[in-house]
Amino acid sequence: MSEAEATDPAITPTRRGLLGMIGTGVAGLALGGAGGAAVTAAALAGTGADGSSGSVVPFHGAHQAGIVTPAQDRLHFASFRMVRGATRDDLIALLQDWTAAAEQLCRGEALGTGIESEDPLLPPDDTGEAEGLHAGHLTLTFGLGHQLFTGEEDDADPFGIRAKLPDTFTPLPSFAFDLLEATQSGGDLCVQACADDPQIAVHAIRNLARIAIGRAHLSWSQLGFGRTSSTSRDQETPRNLFGFKDGTMNIMSDERAALDAHVWVGGSAPEWMRGGTYLVARKILMTIETWDRTSLLEQERVFGRTKRTGGPATGGGEFEQPDFTATNAAGEPTIDIAAHVRLAHPDQNGGARILRRGYNYVDGSNGLGQMGGGLFFISFQRDPAMFVRVQQSLKPDLLNEYIRHIGSGLWAVPRGIAQGEFVAQALFE
């Protein structure tokens, strides 16, 4: 296949197309072969047969994808626990198998021989629900939990990696108002799957869970939609379930200096984490019915921003800097002293900034006429202490009246990998 043919939308291969070509013996189409490169180039051209959904985000690179990648619309986040008695070799083999699968999934390929099993007495290599779909900008971001290094009792070294535990990687403390449920918190490994299409994200997690069997099991997972933070100025700022623009003051993917200062782990950390980051997830229930009965004045006081434009209460458009010194006619601060944006602002937090990349979620309703929905908050920062600092400063936040933190997790996200490496390989060297 020539480069020109490879980028022709009309012949950009879908999962089924790829299988067909493997079946007819197209030379080198297997992983790593010359044909494989052509397939990647085709997919990288970003155009599928339907003209929109065939885009590939490269899996390899200095940093893992899914962090500064322009936020896709859909999330399936999964937390895994290693099975009791799993060994270091099991963990390494799992990360190797996940890496090989992730490379294929992110290229929009079916796993192994796909749904056309050579032996009908065995389950097919791929579960099949993404058959006919394209890569859909799928990104898979892998993280390692603290317990992986220390064991459940914090006094063990089940996988022989304790010596590589970074000093800064300590579990999150309890926060005021935490109402955490163990069934939605923690985990030895996490995988953040983001894509344009929920079927693609779910397919990826499902197949990674299947591959993990006998070594790790799916502990809990969360579906999300309608990204609540932009990571690129090319994206319109989305709205959260309270109807406010969310992500206005986020760190953007082109802010190189800010990313180095606040997101990417730097030089003094263990080698396997340099270029990595830490992922915090917080499942935050939003009491939507109460909020919907709250006056617009109060809603805007809570955030310190206007609902329509997203601009600060002190005036100007969405991206105008808030003036925290401004007062109204009565001499009171125009932006309430407990407004969310005041307390979350870097000025209140020793300059700490975090990269937010969360999603709305709705898990159905609770049988009392209330929606079980909110924000699946995700942030990336070079040190978990940066999140802790911001979260602790939100203690008097007016928003707390309308939210409940019900799930939590912290994972170290190793640096990205080159072709031929597996995720977190440097941790085992």
Ligand X SMILES: C=CC1=C(C)c2cc3[nH]c(cc4nc(cc5[nH]c(cc1n2)c(C)c5CCC(=O)O)C(CCC(=O)O)=C4C)c(C)c3C=C
Round to whole Å and give the CA distance between 373 and 302. 19
340 contributes a contact to ligand X by CB under 6 A: yes
244 contributes a contact to ligand X by CB under 6 A: yes
134 contributes a contact to ligand X by CB under 6 A: no
382 contributes a contact to ligand X by CB under 6 A: no
Q: Are 96 and 234 in contact (CB under 8 A)?
A: no
Residues with Cβ within 8 Å of 175's Cβ and at least 6 positions away in sequence, in order, are 391, 392, 395, 405
Please count the residues of the chain: 429
Exactly one of 303, 376, 411, 422 binds ligand X (CB under 6 A); that residue is 303
Enumerate the β-bridge partners of residue 274.
none
391 contributes a contact to ligand X by CB under 6 A: yes
Round to whole Å and give the CA distance between 276 and 143. 10
Q: Are 335 and 303 in contact (CB under 8 A)?
A: no
Size of the site for ligand X (CB under 6 A): 28
Nearest approach in angstroms of CB 324 to ligand X is 10
Q: Enter the DSSP assignment of 331.
A: S
Nearest approach in angstroms of CB 276 to ligand X is 20
Round to whole Å and give the CA distance between 133 and 376. 26
Nearest approach in angstroms of CB 343 to ligand X is 9
Considering only residues 62 to 121 of the shown chain, the ones binding ligand X according to CB under 6 A are: none
Exactly one of 82, 161, 201, 344 binds ligand X (CB under 6 A); that residue is 344
Nearest approach in angstroms of CB 198 to ligand X is 21
246 contributes a contact to ligand X by CB under 6 A: yes
Place of tokens 């709205």: 239
Which one of the spans 64-72, 129-137, 365-373, 390-398 is the region binding ligand X (CB under 6 A)?
Answer: 390-398
In the bound state with ligand X, the residue whose beta carbon lies nearer, of 18 and 394, is: 394
Which one of the spans 202-210, 244-252, 256-264, 292-300 is the region binding ligand X (CB under 6 A)?
Answer: 244-252
Q: Are 328 and 191 in contact (CB under 8 A)?
A: no
CB burial readout 123-153, b (16+ within 10 A) else e: ebbbbbebbebbbbbbbbbbbbbbbbbbeee
137 contributes a contact to ligand X by CB under 6 A: no
Nearest approach in angstroms of CB 74 to ligand X is 19
242 contributes a contact to ligand X by CB under 6 A: yes
For helices 88-106 and 198-212, the axis angle rounded to 10 degrees is 150
Exactly one of 220, 278, 324, 377 binds ligand X (CB under 6 A); that residue is 377
Site string for ligand X, 347-366 (x = CB under 6 A): -------x------------
Nearest approach in angstroms of CB 196 to ligand X is 22
Exactly one of 81, 137, 164, 345 binds ligand X (CB under 6 A); that residue is 345
Structure tokens belonging to residue 407: 């799930």
301 contributes a contact to ligand X by CB under 6 A: no
- In the chain, what are the helix, strand and coil shares in percent, each to the nearest 5? 30, 20, 55
Enumerate the β-bridge partners of residue 361.
374
List residues near ligand X by CB under 6 A: 240, 242, 244-250, 282, 284, 286, 303, 305, 340-341, 344-346, 354, 374-375, 377, 387, 390-391, 394, 403
